[in-house]
Amino acid sequence: MRCTVLTVAQNPGIAGGLTYESAGALSPGTIVRVPLRKKIVEGIVLDVQEAVQKQEQYDILSVHDTPSPRALLTPAQLATLRWMATHYRCSLRQAMRVWLPAPPWKALLPVPSALYSLGINQNTQAKGSKQKKVLEELCAAGTVERSALLEKTGASAATLHALVASGRVHMEEQLAASRAEGTAYTVDDARRPALTSAQQSVFADIAADPRPSLLFGVTSSGKTEIYAALIAEQASRGRQSLLLVPEILLTEHCIDRFTALLGHEQVAVVHSRLTPAQRRNTWKRIHSGSVALVIGSRSALFAPLATLGLVILDEEHEWTYKNEQTPRYHAREAAEALCRFSTAKLVLGTATPSLESWHRAKNGVYHLARLPDRYNSHAFPSVRIIDLAEAECGSSYPLSPTLRAAIEERLARKEQSVLFLNRRGVGSALLCLDCRRRVVSPDSALPFTVHRDSRGLPILADHTTGLRVALPDRCPSCRSVRLHTVGAGTQKIEDLLAKHFPAARVLRADSDTLTHPEQMRTLLTTMRAREADILLGTQSVVKGLDLPEVTLAAVLVADVGLSLPHFRAGERVFQLLTQLIGRSGRAKPGEVIIQTFRPTAPEVQFAAQHRTEEYLDQEVKLREHAGYPPHTSMIRLLLRGPTAAPDAQRLRDVLRTTAAAQSPSTAISAAPTFFGGGKEWHVLIRGQNLLPLLDIVDTTKAVIDIDPLDCV
């Protein structure tokens, strides 16, 4: 047999695997040990073929001594891995990084249990009380597992070894039986969701259509109930499910609901902040087949689910589903490939579909399922738009008098408010009042944001590079001491709320205060227990939170991000506004206040009037007219270093010459990135059938990003 083996060696020249000969039968996905440069290294078998002719190939040394009940990766997972390497232009080893925990891969193999029973030689006398206890326990219980035997008798490993050596005790290693394929998982029928007639109709339509389904349901329409019904149906058939959420903090929002349905032992949580040991142990638990449902962020897509029947992307429009390190995959596209190879169902759920998914649904590539009404016929919240140019905020900016009165009203009624500002810190910049320049970061050439550190002292932070420095005494440009903080961030709003509402209990939720899922769990518990009055935060407060006592939701400055030089800027702002509107009035009549300097912007108007489909259709037409996705494909080539500018311009010229002969309509440009401070350039390619261009030109100096979301 001829095998392609991907070894753990880091040499980029063999990142696509090596060919070996094997005398015995092997399955793709099997872990092996192979010779490489006078060493024995681990490897994964990628494929197996009948040897056509004898070539210069090494023999496979051996399969690992402890056999796995099945391969580490299934044929569908290996096919998806190969698709990722081809589509995202990375090596097989780079693609493998997301599929398996770090080597040694032998640590992923199941560890056999040592089982002890009475041996055939009972003529010799037991030596000591510990040996007697072991023999008595085995006489009474028959066969006992090693750890249980040690715990019950208090014996040591040396005691067991001596008894085995004497023949009085027999020891046998045995692997735990893997779950038989098709065996139904346990589902608590009492916890199955009671679907409304509209939800039941959508559930049946999704289950019956083999295409990927876009579940387009307004906020609070009960999409999670449909998820639960689909997951329960798969579990009853012995098939596993995967539920992806846009970020790990949101796993806390849904874990309790699904563990109640399936039980803790049948649910696993996977995200990028697991320690290596936690990731390895969770991987082994899933691989054993005992897990019916995996919940997690985008990295959970690569969990070792052998009987995958369903993949759900909740809030499928979120940008966090795009990986910004090699392999630069998008979870939606990778999930579609995995489901295609696994014959599994893909469901994309959202109240604000991405333009890509909406375009595919309207053109029949995806099945479109709608939930146009809120659960239990709850009314949409009323929406007021406040023109910040006309509001008299004074020193309380951006808290307008209208918003302050609305918050006061909720406090009097013992109801809760959610305030959203898409900016952290005390202020958006540090301004010199003499030269009127902002203090900028040397790394990105962008204005520093003003923050408070853990001691309450002001510091400057560059969110694009992570640089943090002390507040300067003088302006770096003119040496003036007249430095003034301008703009607003969540830390400043927290101070303003304390000033205007001293009795209010305020929670702040941003990346400075939420660094672990457990902190989000505490926050949600506090809000649901009505132990807080106001939740202030950045994007984490608008994503999928179900807080029934919230009757006021407000965006403090809706313009943040609206004027970015990015063709997706308007789409992103519309999604945030619509999601925020969905936080209010989920159980009681609610109100939403949108504060903006651009009250007539279409993103603001369409969101305020709950006209999502009209906005999407209009934006699709604008993209078509301008020649941008989803009507075209896009590739971004990123170049860094001292020669980034000439390298990018040279690559642009070569691509234009090449494209002119093959695809004259292709648009190619080169420019410094918006956040790179002139040290980073990119080449943007727009058009149809772009991947062949990368096979013709030299891109070794560039980072290749297929279908980029960030292109400014």
**Three-state secondary structure of 590-622:** CEEEEEECCCCCHHHHHHHCCCHHHHHHHHHHH
- Sequence-distant (6+) residues with CB within 8 A of 518 are 252
Query: 614 falls in which pLDDT band (50, 70, 90)?
Result: very high
| pLDDT (mean) for 385-397 | 90
The pair of three-digit structure tokens given for residue 47, joined into one six-digit string: 């494929």
The pair of three-digit structure tokens given for residue 462, joined into one six-digit string: 């560059």
Amino acid at site 603 = E
Q: What is the pLDDT of residues 60-69, one digit of tens each?
A: 777 765 555 5
Task: Name the CA dihedral angle for 385, 386, 388, 390, rounded to a multiple of 10 degrees.
Answer: 120
pTM: 0.88
Q: What's the confidence (pLDDT) of residue 464?
A: 75
Q: What's the confidence (pLDDT) of residue 52?
A: 59
| pLDDT (mean) for 328-350 | 98
Q: What CA–CA distance (Å, rounded) separates 666 from 656? A: 8
The pair of three-digit structure tokens given for residue 227, joined into one six-digit string: 């998820």
Q: What is the pLDDT of residues 217-242, one digit of tens each?
A: 999 899 999 999 999 999 999 999 99
The pair of three-digit structure tokens given for residue 406, joined into one six-digit string: 């609305």
Query: 364 falls in which pLDDT band (50, 70, 90)?
Result: very high
Nearest to 570 by CA among 593, 591, 598: 598
633-706 maps to CATH 3.30.70: yes
- Sequence-distant (6+) residues with CB within 8 A of 7 are 14, 17, 18, 34, 36, 41, 42, 43
Alpha helices in 105-156 (DSSP H): 129-141, 146-153
Rounded (5°) CA angle 26-30-35: 85
| Domain residue extents for the chain | 2-105, 113-174, 189-375, 378-424+489-622, 429-486, 633-706
User: Bridge-partner residues for 384, per DSSP?
Assistant: 593
Alpha helices in 248-299 (DSSP H): 251-262, 276-287
Of residues 483 and 377, the one with the higher pLDDT is 483
- Sequence-distant (6+) residues with CB within 8 A of 502 are none
Is the pLDDT assigned to residue 266 strictly greater than 60?
A: yes
Tokens 């796995």: give the residue. 68
| pLDDT (mean) for 321-328 | 95
Q: What CA–CA distance (Å, rounded) separates 708 from 710? A: 6
Query: 18 falls in which pLDDT band (50, 70, 90)?
Result: very high
Q: What CA–CA distance (Å, rounded) separates 219 from 215? A: 12
Domains 189-375 and 378-424+489-622 share a fold: yes
Q: What CA–CA distance (Å, rounded) separates 440 from 431? A: 10
The pair of three-digit structure tokens given for residue 393, joined into one six-digit string: 């905020």
Q: What CA–CA distance (Å, rounded) separates 372 from 611? A: 11
The pair of three-digit structure tokens given for residue 304, joined into one six-digit string: 């070792």
Q: What CA–CA distance (Å, rounded) separates 233 from 189? A: 11
Q: Choose the CATH number for 378-424+489-622 among 3.10.180.10, 3.40.50.2300, 3.40.50.300, 3.40.50.150.
A: 3.40.50.300
Query: 310 falls in which pLDDT band (50, 70, 90)?
Result: very high
Highest mean pLDDT among 18-32, 52-66, 659-673, 678-692: 678-692
Rounded (5°) CA angle 655-568-218: 140
Q: Are strands 18-21 and 2-7 parallel, antiparallel or unpaired?
A: antiparallel
Nearest to 69 by CA among 185, 183, 172, 179: 179
Q: What CA–CA distance (Å, rounded) separates 693 from 169? A: 69
Is the pLDDT assigned to residue 712 strictly greater than 90?
A: no
Tokens 């607003």: give the residue. 488
Lowest mean pLDDT among 343-347, 415-419, 480-484, 498-502: 480-484
**189-375 maps to which CATH number?**
3.40.50.300
For residues 223-236, one letter each, b for 16 or more C-beta atoms within 10 angstroms of the residue's C-beta and e for the rest, the string is bbbbbbbbbbbbbe
Query: 370 falls in which pLDDT band (50, 70, 90)?
Result: very high
Query: Quick check: 620 and 358 in contact, CB under 8 A?
Result: yes
Q: What CA–CA distance (Å, rounded) separates 267 from 295? A: 7
Q: What CA–CA distance (Å, rounded) separates 561 from 578? A: 15
The SS3 of residue 386 is: strand
The SS3 of residue 77 is: helix
Nearest to 501 by CA among 610, 405, 369: 405
Is the pLDDT assigned to residue 555 strictly greater than 80?
A: yes
- Sequence-distant (6+) residues with CB within 8 A of 264 are none
The SS3 of residue 86 is: helix
Query: Quick check: 402 and 384 in contact, CB under 8 A?
Result: yes
Of residues 378 and 622, the one with the higher pLDDT is 622
Q: What's the confidence (pLDDT) of residue 160?
A: 92
Q: What CA–CA distance (Å, rounded) separates 288 from 113? A: 14
For residue 9, the 8-state DSSP code is -
User: Bridge-partner residues for 346, per DSSP?
Assistant: 311
Provide the 10 A C-beta neighbour count for residue 525. Answer: 11
Q: What CA–CA distance (Å, rounded) separates 282 from 290? A: 11
Query: Quick check: 601 and 595 in contact, CB under 8 A?
Result: no
Query: 443 falls in which pLDDT band (50, 70, 90)?
Result: confident
Structurally, at CATH architecture level, domain 2-105 sits in 3-Layer(aba) Sandwich (3.40)
Cα dist from 696 to 277, 303, 402, whole Å: 43, 35, 60
Query: Quick check: 218 and 351 in contact, CB under 8 A?
Result: yes
Q: Are strands 308-314 and 345-350 parallel, antiparallel or unpaired?
A: parallel
Is the pLDDT assigned to residue 53 strictly greater than 70?
A: no
Backbone angles phi, psi at 273, to 5 degrees: -95, 10
Nearest to 509 by CA among 485, 486, 559, 543: 543
For residues 623-656, one letter each, b for 16 or more C-beta atoms within 10 angstroms of the residue's C-beta and e for the rest, the string is beeeebbbbbbbbbbbbbeeebbebbebbbebbe
Tokens 């009795």: give the residue. 503
